[in-house]
């Protein structure tokens, strides 16, 4: 039993050390590849398609100033105020599920970032536990600007399209810096399901969401630039 507990202690220590180092590494370094990108490429191959992945990292300062505002308005309006978890949204989501209503997520931008960068997409209690742990870590070790920067570079925004720069080039023929306020709102409107809803060929529902997001954006201040250390 002593050997078992010794191995267990080493395994736990190694887990905490490696995950903290990984979060610290990505505090400064671009995220070039995520588990979801790999999984999608495997799915494409399984479906008989050639793997296609469009992704180009760009700093937050080289994106349209409206892009963070749009995703905050759409996904997480308390982003700048919470510590990674929106307990009110989580509670509402749980109540709706208990009543048999539509399944909606209570995930914050911080939680989505933790999931996108460090974890797999399938939902389970184990995955949610790791998600909470990584969310706590990035909120402790990264700034809000860095969380947003990583989120906007790693989020799925279409079939094989990841990040603001890739979707700007593929769907709007411009760079992420050149995206207009309306285009940012349209991109944000796809995020609940970017493989179902397209910013390239938006339907009536997408246009309706776009207009709602644009109205919400009026109440969201521009994100301040991060002071470099």
- The reply to whether 229 falls in a domain is no
Of 153, 161, 150, which is closest to residue 110 (Cα–Cα)?
150
Distance CA 162, CA 33 (A): 10
Over residues 115-121, the mean pLDDT reads 92
Full residue range of the structural domain in which residue 169 is found: 18-217
Distance CA 32, CA 49 (A): 22
Q: In what order do the strands lie in the sheet with 156-158?
A: 54-55, 161-162, 156-158
**Looking at residue 95, what is its pLDDT?**
60
The pTM (predicted TM-score) of the whole model is 0.91
**Looking at residue 87, what is its pLDDT?**
76
The better pLDDT of the pair 124, 133 is held by 133
Over residues 200-221, the mean pLDDT reads 96
Of 27, 226, 58, which is closest to residue 153 (Cα–Cα)?
58
Q: Which CATH number characterizes residue 111's domain?
A: 1.10.3810.10
**Looking at residue 139, what is its pLDDT?**
98
**Looking at residue 102, what is its pLDDT?**
47
- The reply to whether 155 falls in a domain is yes
- The reply to whether 8 falls in a domain is no
- How many structural domains compose the chain? 1
Over residues 145-174, the mean pLDDT reads 97
**Looking at residue 86, what is its pLDDT?**
86
- The reply to whether 12 falls in a domain is no
116 and 151 Cβ atoms separated by less than 8 Å: yes
**Looking at residue 2, what is its pLDDT?**
80
Asked whether residue 99 carries a pLDDT value surpassing 70, the answer given is: no
Over residues 53-78, the mean pLDDT reads 97
- The predicted-structure confidence for 69-91, as pLDDT tens digits, reads as follows 999 999 999 999 999 998 776 66
Distance CA 34, CA 154 (A): 7
Over residues 193-199, the mean pLDDT reads 93
Asked whether residue 60 carries a pLDDT value surpassing 60, the answer given is: yes
**Looking at residue 105, what is its pLDDT?**
57
- The reply to whether 5 falls in a domain is no
- The reply to whether 189 falls in a domain is yes
The top-scoring range by mean pLDDT among 82-91, 100-109, 180-189 is: 180-189
Mean pLDDT of the chain: 91
Question: If you compute the radius of gyration of the chain from its CA atoms, what whole number of angstroms results?
Answer: 18
């Amino acid at each position: 039993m002593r050997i078992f507990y010794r191995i267990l202690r080493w395994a736990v220590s190694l887990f905490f050390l490696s995950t903290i180092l990984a979060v610290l590494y990505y505090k400064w370094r671009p995220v070039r590849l995520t588990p979801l990108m790999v999984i999608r490429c495997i799915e494409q191959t399984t479906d008989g398609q050639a793997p296609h992945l469009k992704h180009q990292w760009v700093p937050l300062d080289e994106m349209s100033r409206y892009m963070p505002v749009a995703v905050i308005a759409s996904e997480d309006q308390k982003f700048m105020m919470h510590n990674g978890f929106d307990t009110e949204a989580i509670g509402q989501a749980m109540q709706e599920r208990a009543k048999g209503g539509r399944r909606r997520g209570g995930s914050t931008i911080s939680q989505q970032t933790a999931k996108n960068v460090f974890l797999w997409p399938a939902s389970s209690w184990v995955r949610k536990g790791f998600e909470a742990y990584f969310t706590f870590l990035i909120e402790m070790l990264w700034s809000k600007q860095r969380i947003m920067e990583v989120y906007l570079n790693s989020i799925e925004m279409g079939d094989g399209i990841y990040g603001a720069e890739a979707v700007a080039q593929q769907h709007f023929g411009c760079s992420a810096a050149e995206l207009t306020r309306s285009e940012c709102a349209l991109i944000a409107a796809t995020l609940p399901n970017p493989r179902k809803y397209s910013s390239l060929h938006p339907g009536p529902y997408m246009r309706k969401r776009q207009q709602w997001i644009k109205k919400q954006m009026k109440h969201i201040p521009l994100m301040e630039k991060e002071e470099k250390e």
